[in-house]
Amino acid sequence: MSRRSVVIGVDSSTQSAKAAAVDADTGELLALGRAPHTVTGSAGARESDPGEWWTALVTAVRAAVRDADVPAAAVTGIAVAGQQHGLVALGPDGRPLRPALLWNDTRSAPQAAALAARLGGPASWPARTGSVPVASMTAAKWQWLREHEPHHAAATAGVRLPHDHLTERLSGSAVTDPGDASGTCWYGTATRAYDPDVLDLVGLDPALLPTVAPSGATRVGTLTAAAAEALGLPRTVAVAAGTGDNMAAAVGLGLGGAGLLDHPVVSLGTSGTVFAATRTRPVAPGLAGFAATDGTYLPLGCTLNCTLAVDRFATLLGLDREDAAPGGDVVVLPYLDGERTPDLPHAAGLVTGLRHDTDPRAVLGAAYEGAAFTVLRALDELLAACGLDPAAPGVRDRPLRLVGGGARGRAWTETVRRLSGRSLIVPAATELVALGAAALAAGAVTGSDPVALATAWGTGTGAQLPPAPRDEQAWDRIATVLAAATPTLLS
């Protein structure tokens, strides 16, 4: 009887680390360990201590191996999928010089706007790097560091994304992958290399950056002695290059680059994202033209305000998050932390249409509608960038794959059904980022295609909910308020 081979997929997100122990042959989730992260900051600042990410990763991996009830020797591979865009500035000793600037830190909005105006202006950036610089992109954060903390920028001996930093701590190798690198705005999605003009623009020596591996499943080494001791695992465990969280979720869903997928993905989490896998490289200023982790493409729209923003409205109203009703005349634009798609980094939330007899549940429902509208409008932009008419019957009828924490909530699923008019496929697997990372780890061990592995594991399958009649009145009401409010939100 052959020994069971176990791989570990780590989802190092904004709020926590999760480690999935997965049977490499069957895809069975044997156990899930988790540990929290701390996010600090106010007035647009969002930072975390990368040392805490490592501590959380160690805690989560040890818990997963323990709860899986397998010997440490059964673990053969590990991969990290991390929150995108964050900036980790390392000193000469390899330690972070300061807390990491996170993707949702909007202080870098002025730097993003200034960068976007260079090198031919905003229209030229998507063709070069896939995306126009916005506050979330790493290039804008590095420029913010140069301008506001020049002593830290001058002392920086290495620049890493969150997943790069953790992979380096595991393997000792400074490496990234095409997917996560494409979220920096200094990696060219057309050339599949760092863009020297952008690096010159932001004054960044390419020697400070990690090597770009061919894919997230590339084996970059094995555990260092220190990492093996911390994790309680053998040094022989293979370490994959890993990727960003959205790219790993696509792997977990079994999405490859065979063309625009039949089921576009809507992810409802701290941020709301929409993405699709394609072999063509769409160029659109309103989208992030990411690479997938295998070097194909994963165009993505992202909103900053999704489940946390709606939960905040529930708290302010003293309601349970599920105690919502359709918004009716109430419109909420829940831009509590600025917004990315649409690009309104300085926006605050807006509520309109209140009357004396307004039901608080309708206000909460309007917050759901505002968040869902923002995500679904980004989906329409994505489909158009891929050459499809979002309103065409053959396109409008395609089911959506709904993932993320919000996909488990009745109010979220019903709001998305009502505003989209589409059927929804809700995968049974809940930890798609960690499962995608596990598939990358298995690919590093065996040399197999991680998308094919995840497809064989069936991690993207689930129940299908029928469509609901599309609420055109709610859609038009929100669109009208957003159009009228945008000049104010931009100020």
Strands 400-403 and 350-352 come out as unpaired
Cβ neighbourhood burial of 295 (10 Å; 0-12, 13-18, 19+)? middle
Residue in 105, 180, 245, 343 annotated catalytic: 245
Residue type, 473: Q
In DSSP notation, 336-390 reads BTBBTTTTBTT---EEE---TT--HHHHHHHHHHHHHHHHHHHHHHHHHHTT--T
- How is residue 2 annotated by DSSP? P
Q: How far is CA 101 from CA 39, 137, 141, in A?
A: 10, 10, 7
Q: How far is CA 351 from CA 167, 316, 339, in A?
A: 43, 13, 16
Strands 6-12 and 16-23 come out as antiparallel
Question: Is cis: bond before 342, omega within 30 of 0?
Answer: yes
| DSSP H stretches of helix in 237-359 | 245-252, 307-317
Q: Which positions ≥6 away from 172 have C-beta within 8 Å?
A: 221, 224
Coarse DSSP helix, strand, coil percentages of the chain, rounded to the nearest 5 percent: 40, 20, 40
Strand segments (E) across 373-456: 400-403, 424-427
Q: Which positions ≥6 away from 213 have C-beta within 8 Å?
A: 175, 176, 177, 178, 220, 241
Report CA 445 to chain centroid distance, whole Å: 25
Comparing C-alpha atoms, which of 191, 165, 167, 166 is closest to residue 178?
Answer: 191
Active-site residue flag, 245: yes
How many CB atoms sit inside 10 A of residue 253's CB?
28
Which residues are part of the catalytic machinery?
A: 245
